[in-house]
Protein backbone atom coordinates (compact mmCIF):
# COMPACT_ATOMS: atom_id res chain seq x y z
CA UNK A 1 0.00 0.00 0.00
CA UNK A 2 2.80 2.38 0.85
CA UNK A 3 4.02 2.57 -2.72
CA UNK A 4 0.78 4.28 -3.70
CA UNK A 5 1.85 7.24 -1.62
CA UNK A 6 4.66 8.09 -3.97
CA UNK A 7 3.08 11.12 -5.53
CA UNK A 8 5.97 12.54 -7.47
CA UNK A 9 7.34 9.45 -9.12
CA UNK A 10 10.31 10.14 -11.30
CA UNK A 11 8.68 8.19 -14.07
CA UNK A 12 6.00 10.85 -14.28
CA UNK A 13 8.42 13.47 -15.48
CA UNK A 14 7.65 14.69 -18.99
CA UNK A 15 10.84 14.01 -20.90
CA UNK A 16 11.78 12.14 -24.03
CA UNK A 17 13.88 9.05 -23.39
CA UNK A 18 14.67 8.19 -26.97
CA UNK A 19 15.99 11.49 -28.25
CA UNK A 20 19.27 12.89 -27.06
CA UNK A 21 18.81 16.33 -25.58
CA UNK A 22 21.17 18.64 -27.51
CA UNK A 23 21.63 20.73 -24.39
CA UNK A 24 22.91 17.73 -22.45
CA UNK A 25 25.13 16.70 -25.36
CA UNK A 26 26.60 20.20 -25.51
CA UNK A 27 27.25 20.18 -21.77
CA UNK A 28 28.88 16.76 -22.10
CA UNK A 29 31.20 18.34 -24.67
CA UNK A 30 32.24 20.95 -22.10
CA UNK A 31 29.86 23.79 -23.01
CA UNK A 32 29.48 25.69 -19.73
CA UNK A 33 26.68 27.89 -21.06
CA UNK A 34 24.66 24.80 -21.97
CA UNK A 35 25.33 23.45 -18.50
CA UNK A 36 24.14 26.74 -17.00
CA UNK A 37 20.87 26.35 -18.90
CA UNK A 38 20.53 22.83 -17.51
CA UNK A 39 21.23 24.23 -14.06
CA UNK A 40 18.47 26.81 -14.52
CA UNK A 41 16.05 24.08 -15.63
CA UNK A 42 16.76 21.61 -12.87
CA UNK A 43 18.15 23.55 -9.88
CA UNK A 44 14.68 24.17 -8.41
CA UNK A 45 13.94 20.47 -8.13
CA UNK A 46 17.45 19.62 -7.01
CA UNK A 47 17.30 22.26 -4.29
CA UNK A 48 13.86 21.07 -3.18
CA UNK A 49 15.21 17.53 -2.77
CA UNK A 50 18.35 18.76 -0.99
CA UNK A 51 16.26 20.88 1.39
CA UNK A 52 13.86 18.06 2.21
CA UNK A 53 16.76 15.72 2.89
CA UNK A 54 18.85 18.11 4.95
CA UNK A 55 16.05 20.15 6.58
CA UNK A 56 18.42 23.09 6.53
CA UNK A 57 18.30 25.81 3.87
CA UNK A 58 21.95 26.82 4.13
CA UNK A 59 23.08 23.21 4.04
CA UNK A 60 20.74 22.53 1.12
CA UNK A 61 22.25 25.43 -0.82
CA UNK A 62 25.75 24.08 -0.23
CA UNK A 63 24.60 20.58 -1.17
CA UNK A 64 22.96 21.89 -4.37
CA UNK A 65 26.24 23.51 -5.39
CA UNK A 66 28.09 20.30 -4.59
CA UNK A 67 25.60 18.36 -6.72
CA UNK A 68 26.04 20.57 -9.78
CA UNK A 69 29.82 20.61 -9.40
CA UNK A 70 29.95 16.81 -9.20
CA UNK A 71 27.35 16.33 -11.93
CA UNK A 72 29.55 18.38 -14.26
CA UNK A 73 32.37 15.94 -13.55
CA UNK A 74 30.11 12.89 -13.94
CA UNK A 75 28.20 14.14 -16.96
CA UNK A 76 30.20 11.93 -19.30
CA UNK A 77 28.80 8.92 -17.43
CA UNK A 78 25.23 9.83 -18.41
CA UNK A 79 24.37 7.53 -21.30
CA UNK A 80 20.93 8.89 -22.40
CA UNK A 81 19.36 5.47 -21.70
CA UNK A 82 17.39 6.81 -18.77
CA UNK A 83 15.72 10.18 -18.27
CA UNK A 84 18.23 12.88 -17.41
CA UNK A 85 16.06 14.00 -14.49
CA UNK A 86 15.99 10.44 -13.13
CA UNK A 87 19.77 10.21 -13.36
CA UNK A 88 20.19 13.71 -11.90
CA UNK A 89 17.93 12.98 -8.95
CA UNK A 90 19.69 9.72 -8.22
CA UNK A 91 23.03 11.54 -8.22
CA UNK A 92 21.52 14.34 -6.12
CA UNK A 93 20.21 11.96 -3.47
CA UNK A 94 23.52 10.12 -3.22
CA UNK A 95 25.65 13.26 -3.13
CA UNK A 96 23.39 14.96 -0.58
CA UNK A 97 23.38 11.94 1.73
CA UNK A 98 27.15 11.73 1.38
CA UNK A 99 27.33 15.48 2.12
CA UNK A 100 25.13 15.06 5.19
CA UNK A 101 27.33 12.23 6.43
CA UNK A 102 30.24 14.64 6.55
CA UNK A 103 28.30 16.93 8.87
CA UNK A 104 28.99 16.61 12.58
CA UNK A 105 26.77 14.15 14.40
CA UNK A 106 25.27 12.46 11.30
CA UNK A 107 25.83 8.95 12.54
CA UNK A 108 24.57 9.79 16.02
CA UNK A 109 21.41 11.28 14.53
CA UNK A 110 20.94 8.43 12.11
CA UNK A 111 21.57 5.67 14.64
CA UNK A 112 19.52 7.19 17.46
CA UNK A 113 16.29 5.31 17.66
CA UNK A 114 14.35 8.31 18.84
CA UNK A 115 14.68 11.96 19.53
CA UNK A 116 12.75 13.18 22.47
CA UNK A 117 10.27 15.98 22.29
CA UNK A 118 9.81 15.83 18.55
CA UNK A 119 6.06 16.25 18.69
CA UNK A 120 6.09 19.37 20.80
CA UNK A 121 7.98 21.38 18.18
CA UNK A 122 5.16 21.18 15.71
CA UNK A 123 2.55 23.81 16.33
CA UNK A 124 4.85 26.81 16.30
CA UNK A 125 5.51 26.34 12.59
CA UNK A 126 2.06 26.29 11.08
CA UNK A 127 -0.49 28.48 12.70
CA UNK A 128 -1.78 29.76 9.37
CA UNK A 129 -4.98 28.38 7.85
CA UNK A 130 -3.03 26.30 5.28
CA UNK A 131 -1.08 23.31 6.58
CA UNK A 132 2.50 23.56 5.39
CA UNK A 133 3.54 19.97 4.75
CA UNK A 134 7.05 21.12 3.82
CA UNK A 135 7.47 22.60 7.29
CA UNK A 136 6.24 19.40 8.87
CA UNK A 137 8.53 17.17 6.83
CA UNK A 138 11.63 19.09 7.87
CA UNK A 139 10.63 18.62 11.51
CA UNK A 140 10.64 14.85 11.26
CA UNK A 141 13.52 13.03 12.99
CA UNK A 142 16.42 12.79 10.56
CA UNK A 143 16.29 9.11 9.64
CA UNK A 144 12.50 9.05 9.31
CA UNK A 145 12.62 12.23 7.22
CA UNK A 146 15.28 10.99 4.80
CA UNK A 147 13.45 7.70 4.29
CA UNK A 148 10.09 9.44 3.86
CA UNK A 149 11.44 11.93 1.31
CA UNK A 150 13.17 9.23 -0.71
CA UNK A 151 10.22 6.83 -0.68
CA UNK A 152 7.07 8.95 -0.61
CA UNK A 153 8.27 11.93 -2.64
CA UNK A 154 11.07 10.59 -4.82
CA UNK A 155 9.67 7.11 -5.36
CA UNK A 156 12.68 5.04 -4.31
CA UNK A 157 12.15 1.43 -3.24
CA UNK A 158 13.02 0.47 0.33
CA UNK A 159 15.80 -1.82 -0.92
CA UNK A 160 17.43 1.13 -2.69
CA UNK A 161 17.01 3.39 0.33
CA UNK A 162 18.51 0.71 2.57
CA UNK A 163 21.56 0.51 0.30
CA UNK A 164 21.94 4.29 0.14
CA UNK A 165 21.72 4.77 3.90
CA UNK A 166 23.49 1.61 5.03
CA UNK A 167 20.43 0.33 6.88
CA UNK A 168 18.21 -2.71 6.38
CA UNK A 169 15.13 -2.67 4.20
CA UNK A 170 13.03 -3.45 7.29
CA UNK A 171 14.43 -0.41 9.07
CA UNK A 172 13.63 1.72 6.06
CA UNK A 173 10.02 0.50 6.09
CA UNK A 174 9.73 1.05 9.84
CA UNK A 175 11.09 4.58 9.55
CA UNK A 176 8.71 5.32 6.69
CA UNK A 177 5.71 4.20 8.73
CA UNK A 178 6.95 6.19 11.69
CA UNK A 179 7.22 9.31 9.53
CA UNK A 180 3.70 8.77 8.18
CA UNK A 181 2.35 8.28 11.69
CA UNK A 182 3.97 11.46 12.95
CA UNK A 183 2.84 13.53 9.96
CA UNK A 184 -0.68 12.16 10.18
CA UNK A 185 -0.78 12.93 13.88
CA UNK A 186 0.54 16.47 13.36
CA UNK A 187 -1.83 17.17 10.47
CA UNK A 188 -4.74 15.87 12.53
CA UNK A 189 -3.75 18.11 15.42
CA UNK A 190 -3.40 21.14 13.17
CA UNK A 191 -6.75 20.54 11.44
CA UNK A 192 -8.39 20.16 14.82
CA UNK A 193 -6.95 23.53 15.87
CA UNK A 194 -8.22 25.21 12.72
CA UNK B 1 -12.34 8.18 9.57
CA UNK B 2 -9.32 7.67 7.35
CA UNK B 3 -6.61 9.81 8.90
CA UNK B 4 -4.14 9.05 6.09
CA UNK B 5 -6.09 10.86 3.41
CA UNK B 6 -5.13 14.43 4.42
CA UNK B 7 -1.45 13.49 4.25
CA UNK B 8 -1.82 11.99 0.77
CA UNK B 9 -3.74 15.07 -0.39
CA UNK B 10 -1.03 17.36 0.94
CA UNK B 11 1.66 15.19 -0.66
CA UNK B 12 0.02 15.58 -4.06
CA UNK B 13 0.06 19.36 -3.65
CA UNK B 14 3.65 19.49 -2.46
CA UNK B 15 5.58 21.81 -4.82
CA UNK B 16 8.27 20.14 -6.92
CA UNK B 17 10.50 23.17 -6.95
CA UNK B 18 12.04 25.37 -4.31
CA UNK B 19 14.17 28.46 -4.70
CA UNK B 20 17.42 28.95 -2.83
CA UNK B 21 17.88 32.28 -1.07
CA UNK B 22 21.10 33.08 -2.94
CA UNK B 23 22.38 32.68 -6.48
CA UNK B 24 24.29 29.40 -6.46
CA UNK B 25 25.57 29.49 -10.04
CA UNK B 26 28.64 31.76 -9.57
CA UNK B 27 30.08 29.33 -7.00
CA UNK B 28 29.37 26.36 -9.26
CA UNK B 29 30.92 28.08 -12.28
CA UNK B 30 34.02 28.99 -10.29
CA UNK B 31 34.43 25.43 -9.00
CA UNK B 32 33.97 24.00 -12.51
CA UNK B 33 36.66 26.31 -13.89
CA UNK B 34 39.04 25.47 -11.03
CA UNK B 35 38.35 21.78 -11.43
CA UNK B 36 39.05 21.94 -15.15
CA UNK B 37 42.48 23.32 -14.34
CA UNK B 38 43.12 20.56 -11.81
CA UNK B 39 41.99 17.88 -14.25
CA UNK B 40 44.43 19.19 -16.84
CA UNK B 41 47.25 19.06 -14.31
CA UNK B 42 46.26 15.62 -13.14
CA UNK B 43 46.18 14.26 -16.65
CA UNK B 44 49.90 14.95 -16.76
CA UNK B 45 50.84 13.52 -13.36
CA UNK B 46 47.89 11.55 -11.94
CA UNK B 47 48.31 8.03 -13.33
CA UNK B 48 51.99 8.02 -12.43
CA UNK B 49 51.19 8.92 -8.83
CA UNK B 50 48.61 6.15 -8.64
CA UNK B 51 51.00 3.63 -10.14
CA UNK B 52 53.74 4.58 -7.67
CA UNK B 53 51.35 4.36 -4.74
CA UNK B 54 50.20 0.93 -5.94
CA UNK B 55 53.80 -0.23 -6.32
CA UNK B 56 54.71 0.84 -2.78
CA UNK B 57 51.55 -0.86 -1.51
CA UNK B 58 52.45 -4.15 -3.20
CA UNK B 59 56.03 -4.03 -1.87
CA UNK B 60 54.80 -3.31 1.64
CA UNK B 61 52.23 -6.10 1.63
CA UNK B 62 54.71 -8.58 0.14
CA UNK B 63 57.21 -7.79 2.90
CA UNK B 64 54.51 -8.01 5.53
CA UNK B 65 53.30 -11.41 4.34
CA UNK B 66 56.84 -12.70 4.19
CA UNK B 67 57.53 -11.47 7.72
CA UNK B 68 54.43 -13.00 9.24
CA UNK B 69 55.08 -16.35 7.55
CA UNK B 70 58.85 -16.35 8.23
CA UNK B 71 59.63 -14.15 11.16
CA UNK B 72 63.25 -15.28 11.19
CA UNK B 73 65.41 -16.53 14.03
CA UNK B 74 65.94 -13.19 15.77
CA UNK B 75 62.59 -11.70 14.99
CA UNK B 76 60.83 -12.68 18.16
CA UNK B 77 63.59 -11.00 20.17
CA UNK B 78 63.50 -7.76 18.20
CA UNK B 79 59.78 -7.49 17.44
CA UNK B 80 57.26 -9.22 19.67
CA UNK B 81 53.50 -9.36 19.05
CA UNK B 82 52.59 -5.96 20.48
CA UNK B 83 55.45 -4.20 18.78
CA UNK B 84 54.72 -5.96 15.51
CA UNK B 85 51.10 -4.82 15.58
CA UNK B 86 52.22 -1.28 16.33
CA UNK B 87 54.71 -1.29 13.45
CA UNK B 88 52.16 -2.83 11.10
CA UNK B 89 49.58 -0.23 12.03
CA UNK B 90 51.99 2.67 11.68
CA UNK B 91 53.25 1.49 8.32
CA UNK B 92 49.73 0.89 7.12
CA UNK B 93 48.59 4.33 8.26
CA UNK B 94 51.51 5.94 6.43
CA UNK B 95 50.70 3.92 3.33
CA UNK B 96 47.00 4.76 3.50
CA UNK B 97 47.70 8.46 4.01
CA UNK B 98 50.06 8.46 1.05
CA UNK B 99 47.52 6.68 -1.13
CA UNK B 100 44.70 9.04 -0.10
CA UNK B 101 46.92 12.01 -0.92
CA UNK B 102 47.69 10.52 -4.34
CA UNK B 103 44.01 10.13 -5.21
CA UNK B 104 42.83 13.32 -3.53
CA UNK B 105 41.88 15.06 -6.78
CA UNK B 106 40.47 11.95 -8.43
CA UNK B 107 36.67 11.63 -8.33
CA UNK B 108 35.50 8.42 -6.65
CA UNK B 109 33.19 6.07 -8.53
CA UNK B 110 31.02 5.49 -5.46
CA UNK B 111 29.87 7.92 -2.83
CA UNK B 112 29.95 5.55 0.12
CA UNK B 113 33.58 4.45 -0.05
CA UNK B 114 34.55 6.46 3.06
CA UNK B 115 31.84 4.61 4.96
CA UNK B 116 33.28 1.30 3.76
CA UNK B 117 36.73 2.51 4.76
CA UNK B 118 35.43 3.36 8.23
CA UNK B 119 33.84 -0.07 8.54
CA UNK B 120 37.17 -1.72 7.65
CA UNK B 121 38.85 0.55 10.19
CA UNK B 122 36.40 -0.66 12.84
CA UNK B 123 37.17 -4.26 11.84
CA UNK B 124 40.91 -3.58 12.20
CA UNK B 125 40.32 -2.06 15.64
CA UNK B 126 38.40 -5.16 16.71
CA UNK B 127 41.22 -7.44 15.54
CA UNK B 128 43.79 -5.26 17.29
CA UNK B 129 41.74 -5.52 20.49
CA UNK B 130 41.85 -9.31 20.14
CA UNK B 131 45.59 -9.16 19.43
CA UNK B 132 46.13 -7.17 22.61
CA UNK B 133 44.96 -10.26 24.51
CA UNK B 134 46.81 -12.73 22.29
CA UNK B 135 49.72 -10.78 20.74
CA UNK B 136 51.43 -13.68 18.95
CA UNK B 137 48.34 -15.12 17.31
CA UNK B 138 49.39 -15.47 13.65
CA UNK B 139 45.81 -15.97 12.47
CA UNK B 140 44.79 -12.65 13.96
CA UNK B 141 47.86 -11.00 12.44
CA UNK B 142 46.90 -12.37 9.05
CA UNK B 143 43.35 -11.08 9.52
CA UNK B 144 44.70 -7.65 10.38
CA UNK B 145 46.93 -7.74 7.35
CA UNK B 146 43.97 -8.75 5.21
CA UNK B 147 41.80 -5.88 6.47
CA UNK B 148 44.60 -3.39 5.85
CA UNK B 149 44.98 -4.76 2.35
CA UNK B 150 41.24 -4.40 1.76
CA UNK B 151 41.41 -0.75 2.82
CA UNK B 152 44.19 0.00 0.37
CA UNK B 153 42.50 -1.94 -2.43
CA UNK B 154 39.22 -0.13 -1.78
CA UNK B 155 40.82 3.31 -2.05
CA UNK B 156 42.67 2.30 -5.17
CA UNK B 157 39.68 0.73 -6.91
CA UNK B 158 37.18 3.51 -6.29
CA UNK B 159 39.64 6.04 -7.66
CA UNK B 160 40.92 4.03 -10.59
CA UNK B 161 40.30 5.55 -14.02
CA UNK B 162 37.40 3.94 -15.87
CA UNK B 163 39.63 2.19 -18.38
CA UNK B 164 41.39 0.40 -15.52
CA UNK B 165 38.10 -0.94 -14.09
CA UNK B 166 36.95 -2.59 -17.31
Could you tell me the pLDDT band of residue B55, with boundaries at 50, 70 and 90? Answer: low
pLDDT score, position B118: 84
Whole-angstrom distance, CA of residue A102 vs CA of residue B114: 10
Below-70 pLDDT ranges, chain A: 1-19, 104-130, 190-194
Binary contact (A61, B29; C-beta < 8 A): no
User: Domain extents for chain B?
Assistant: 46-165
Tens-digit pLDDT profile for residues B118-162: 888 888 888 888 888 787 777 778 878 888 888 888 888 777 654
B166–A contact, CB cutoff 8 A: no
* pLDDT reading at B28 higher than 70: yes
pLDDT score, position B127: 83
pLDDT score, position B79: 62
Which residues in chain A have their CB less than 8 angstroms from residue B111's CB? 94-95, 97-98
pLDDT score, position A25: 93
Which residues in chain B have their CB less than 8 angstroms from residue A97's CB? 111
Residues 88-107 of A with CB under 8 A from B: 94-95, 97-98, 101
pLDDT score, position B133: 79
pLDDT score, position A125: 46
Please, are residues B90 and B146 in contact by the beta-carbon 8 Å criterion? no
Better-scored residue on pLDDT, B114 or A171: A171
Please, are residues A25 and A69 in contact by the beta-carbon 8 Å criterion? no
**What proportion of chain B, given as a percentage, has pLDDT over 70?**
66
pLDDT score, position A158: 96
A183–B contact, CB cutoff 8 A: yes
Task: Say which DSSP state A139 is in.
Answer: T
Binary contact (A43, B115; C-beta < 8 A): no
Instruction: Report chain B's mean pLDDT, rounded to a whole number.
Output: 74
Domains of chain A: 16-103 (1.10.1740.10), 105-194 (1.10.10.10)
Amino acid sequence: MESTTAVTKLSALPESVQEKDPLICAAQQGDVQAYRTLYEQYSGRVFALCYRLTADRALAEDATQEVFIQVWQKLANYSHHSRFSTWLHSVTANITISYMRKQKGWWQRMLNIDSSGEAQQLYATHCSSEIDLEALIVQLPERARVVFVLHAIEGYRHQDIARMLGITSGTSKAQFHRARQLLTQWIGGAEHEH
Amino acid sequence: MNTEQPLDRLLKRLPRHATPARDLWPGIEHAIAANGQRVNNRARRGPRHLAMAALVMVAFLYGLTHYIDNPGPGASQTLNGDALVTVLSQQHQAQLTSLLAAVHDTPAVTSDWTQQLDELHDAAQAIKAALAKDPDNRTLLRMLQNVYQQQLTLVERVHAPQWQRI
